[in-house]
Structures are given as structure tokens and as C-alpha cells.
């Protein structure tokens, strides 16, 4: 038995202040936090992901955090399976989740219990190897095989192209056939509050956060991961900032270049996050110049009645 729906949820872009705001809201609502963040799942990747610290996690239980090692492949399917077990356990205790995060795919996997086709590591490896020669050729193949899926994927997005071709190869079904459920947004599943910050204000917050990460030991954390065999071909290595810092440690980027690259990729991520959540008609947006903490009272009241 899982906790009764609808569940309260807090979403928004990276650097909007969701972590501390989510803790305050969870405390007021008597909830436990169910993380919808694709990078918080990795152990040892703490500073660069702005992971809640031990003190914050003592205040409110956090779930789906630190559940995989950076070296191991991790997918939204594995994440969803873990989530189902967590929710069953919460339901048995009479606990209630507050879903908090900015990873749109992971959020909908939790919020709407969408189904995902199985993966096949060997098929994926073959496709990823082929992509090293030319991702454009893979994309053209997808256009011929599944035009609808190709139209929804940017030509330069090799990861999603590989996934679409993997699904077709392993299941015999077109990747686009799984997308119908994604077009519905059931009001009975979640009540969502979204944090919206003007672009210039958010850009300043991103720059400050990267600087604070460096001061907190981001380079040292990355060095430790590299020494453990951290490889850029793994899903976790695509975490923004880690790839740039690893290149700096290899002498291929100056620190300034690594910082600039991190900020640039974070801004691009923010644009994708907002585009994803803006499509969801269930999100009630709370505008703020100062970040999520400024609207905690209003968000709490909005989520209290579910």
C-alpha cells in the first residue's frame, strides 16, 4: 500500500533553492522527502550536486539519495523500482512523501508511475560504440525507423537517440509507442508548486553556487572520483561540473575554463528543466527574485490541503 494521493511536490530549476525550502515545507507538512533528482542517487558526488548534507537529512528523512555508486550504470527504470519499494515502506508506516526535484523524467516516473521499456546493456553498448564514429548516422537511422520519436529528439542528443534505437531493437516496439501516457497529466496524482526565478537573477545564483562549490572542495571531490575510476562514458560522469573539473585535473582545461563551462552547461540545463515543467499544466508557479526560501509560506499553504 502506497501513501494516498495526491502527493505534494516542489519543482524548479537547478540553483533555485529547492533543497532548503523543501526541508522547511516537509517539516511543516509532516512529510518525508522523495528526491526526484537524477544525480543525487550517486554516492560520493556531494558537493557538485549540492546534495543535502547530514544535518539537513537528519531534520527530514530523504529517500532515493546515495543509492548507487558512480561507477555503476543507473537508469530511470532502476530508480522507479527503488521508488516503488520506498513508497510501499512509507505507506506501511503511515508516512507521506513530498516530492522534490528538478529532473523532469525522474519526477514524472514518480508522480505519474509511467512505464518504461526494459534496457539491454549489450545492445546499448553496441549503439554507444557506433555513436563514437558518428551520432548523426544513428539519428538518421532513427528518422527512418521511428520518425515520430526522432522528431521529439534533438539531432545532437546521442543519449536519447541510442535509447530509442535500443528500445526498438530489444522490444520490437517503436520508442514512440511508449509516449502516449506522457501526454496526460492526471490532476489526482500530485499537487505541484514550481519555483520560477528571472533569468538574470538565476544566472547570478548559478555563478555564486559554482564558486561556493569550489570553496567547499569540489576539485578534491572530483579528484577522488577520478582516482576511483570515474569514467566520462558512464551516466554519472555527465553530471555538470564533474566532467569540466576532471578535464581541468587532466590539464586539458584551465580552472577558469572549467568554471565557465560548468556555468554555461548549468544554464542550458535550466532552460531544459523549465521547458519540461512549463509543459505540465498542474504546476502552480511561484515567482521570486530571491529563491525558493522567499516563497516557502505561500508554497506551504498551497500544498497543505492535499
Q: Is the pLDDT of residue 122 over 80?
A: yes
Residue 2 lies in a domain: no
Give the strand pairing for 32-35 and 283-287. unpaired
If one compares 236 and 122, the residue with the highest pLDDT of the two is 122
Q: Kindly tell me if the per-residue pLDDT of 182 is higher than 90.
A: no
The whole-number average pLDDT for the span 33-55 is 95
228: domain CATH number? 1.10.287.890
Same domain, 194 and 83: yes
Domain identity same for 216 and 174: no
Question: What's the rounded Cα separation, in Å, for the pair 125 and 123?
Answer: 5
Q: Using CA atoms, how far apart are residues 193 and 263, in angstroms rounded to an integer? A: 26
Per the structure, the count of domains in the chain is 3
Candidate from 96-105, 163-172, 201-210 with smallest mean pLDDT: 163-172
Mark whether 259 and 141 lie in a shared domain: no
In sequence order, the 6+-apart residues with CB closer than 8 A to the CB of 288 are 195, 196, 197, 294, 295
pLDDT per residue over 9-39, tens digit each?
999 999 999 999 999 999 999 999 999 999 9
Tell me the C-alpha distance between 76 and 41, whole Å. 11
271 has pLDDT over 80 = yes
Residue 132: band (very low, low, confident or very high) from pLDDT cuts 50, 70, 90: confident
pTM for this prediction: 0.85
221 in a domain, yes or no?
Answer: yes
Q: Is the pLDDT of residue 175 over 90?
A: no
Same domain assignment for residues 205 and 194: no
Contact criterion met (CB below 8 Å) for 111 and 189: yes
pLDDT tens-digit readout, 86-107: 999 999 999 999 999 999 999 9
One domain for residues 129 and 152:
yes
Q: What is the tens place of the pLDDT at every residue in 62-85?
A: 999 999 988 787 888 899 999 999
pLDDT for the residue numbered 231? 63
The cell numbers describing 190, all together, are: 500530485
Whether 147 and 45 have beta carbons less than 8 Å apart is answered as no
Above 80 in pLDDT, residue 117? no
Cell triple for residue 212?
561556493
Of 231-235, 238-242, 293-297, the one with minimum mean pLDDT is 231-235
HSE-CB at 217 with a 13 A cutoff on CA atoms is: 8
CA 32, chain centre distance (Å): 18
Residue 99 DSSP SS3: strand
Worst-scoring range by mean pLDDT, 11-25, 121-135, 205-219, 288-302? 121-135
pLDDT tens column, 246-258: 999 999 999 999 9
Both 111 and 16 in one domain: the answer is yes
Are 194 and 45 within one domain? yes
- Note the pLDDT of residue 80: 92
Question: Is the residue at 105 inside a domain?
Answer: yes
Cross-strand partners of 251: none
Domain identity same for 68 and 82: yes
Mean pLDDT (the chain) is 91
Question: What is the structure's pLDDT at 170?
Answer: 86
* For residues 186-193, average pLDDT: 96
Contact 100, 65 (CB under 8 A): no
My answer on whether 99 and 142 are in the same domain is no
Q: Residues 111, 44, 247, CA angle at the centre, nearest 5°? A: 105
Asked if residue 1 has pLDDT above 60, the reply is: yes
Distances (CA, A) of 52 to 37, 79, 100, 194: 12, 19, 12, 19
Residues contacting residue 120 through CB under 8 Å, at least 6 positions apart: 166, 169, 170
In the chain, which ranges are E strands? 7-11, 32-35, 62-63, 97-101, 190-196, 283-287
What contacts 24+ positions apart, CB below 8 Å, involve 90-94?
90/2, 90/3, 90/32, 90/63, 91/1, 91/2, 91/3, 92/1
Q: Structural domain of residue 214, as residue ranges?
A: 200-270
Q: What is the pLDDT of residue 129?
A: 86
Neighbours of 162 (CB within 10 A): 22
| Residues 6+ positions from 199 with CB-CB distance below 8 Å | none
**What's the CATH code of the domain at 135?**
1.10.20.140
Most confident listed range (126-140, 145-159, 280-294):
280-294
Count how many residues are written for the chain: 306
Amino acid at each position: 500500500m502506497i501513501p494516498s494521493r495526491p502527493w505534494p511536490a516542489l519543482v524548479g530549476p537547478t540553483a533555485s533553492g529547492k533543497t532548503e525550502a523543501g526541508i522547511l515545507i516537509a517539516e511543516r507538512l509532516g512529510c518525508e522527502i522523495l528526491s526526484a533528482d537524477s544525480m543525487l542517487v550517486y554516492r560520493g558526488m556531494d558537493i557538485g550536486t549540492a546534495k543535502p548534507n547530514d544535518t539537513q537529512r537528519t531534520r527530514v528523512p530523504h529517500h532515493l539519495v546515495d543509492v548507487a555508486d558512480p561507477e555503476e550504470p543507473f537508469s530511470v527504470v532502476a530508480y522507479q523500482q527503488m521508488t516503488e519499494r520506498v513508497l510501499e515502506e512509507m505507506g506501511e508506516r503511515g508516512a507521506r512523501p513530498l516530492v522534490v526535484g528538478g529532473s523532469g523524467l525522474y519526477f514524472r516516473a514518480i508522480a505519474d508511475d509511467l512505464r518504461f521499456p526494459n534496457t539491454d546493456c549489450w545492445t546499448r553498448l553496441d549503439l554507444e560504440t557506433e555513436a563514437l564514429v558518428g551520432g548523426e548516422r544513428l539519428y538518421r537511422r532513427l528518422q527512418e525507423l521511428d520518425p515520430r520519436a526522432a522528431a521529439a529528439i534533438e539531432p545532437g542528443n546521442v543519449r536519447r537517440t541510442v535509447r530509442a534505437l535500443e528500445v526498438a531493437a530489444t522490444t520490437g516496439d517503436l520508442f514512440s509507442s511508449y509516449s502516449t501516457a506522457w501526454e496526460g497529466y492526471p490532476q489526482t496524482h500530485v499537487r505541484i508548486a514550481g519555483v520560477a526565478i528571472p533569468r538574470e537573477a538565476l544566472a547570478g545564483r548559478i555563478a555564486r553556487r559554482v564558486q561556493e562549490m569550489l570553496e567547499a572542495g569540489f576539485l578534491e571531490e572530483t579528484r577522488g572520483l577520478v582516482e576511483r575510476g570515474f569514467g566520462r562514458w558512464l551516466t554519472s560522469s555527465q553530471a555538470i561540473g564533474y566532467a569540466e573539473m576532471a578535464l581541468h585535473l587532466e590539464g586539458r582545461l584551465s580552472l577558469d575554463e572549467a568554471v565557465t563551462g560548468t556555468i554555461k552547461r548549468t544554464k542550458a540545463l535550466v532552460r531544459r528543466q523549465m521547458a519540461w515543467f512549463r509543459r505540465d499544466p498542474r504546476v502552480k508557479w511561484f515567482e521570486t527574485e530571491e529563491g525558493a526560501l522567499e516563497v516557502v509560506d505561500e508554497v506551504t499553504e498551497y500544498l497543505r490541503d492535499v
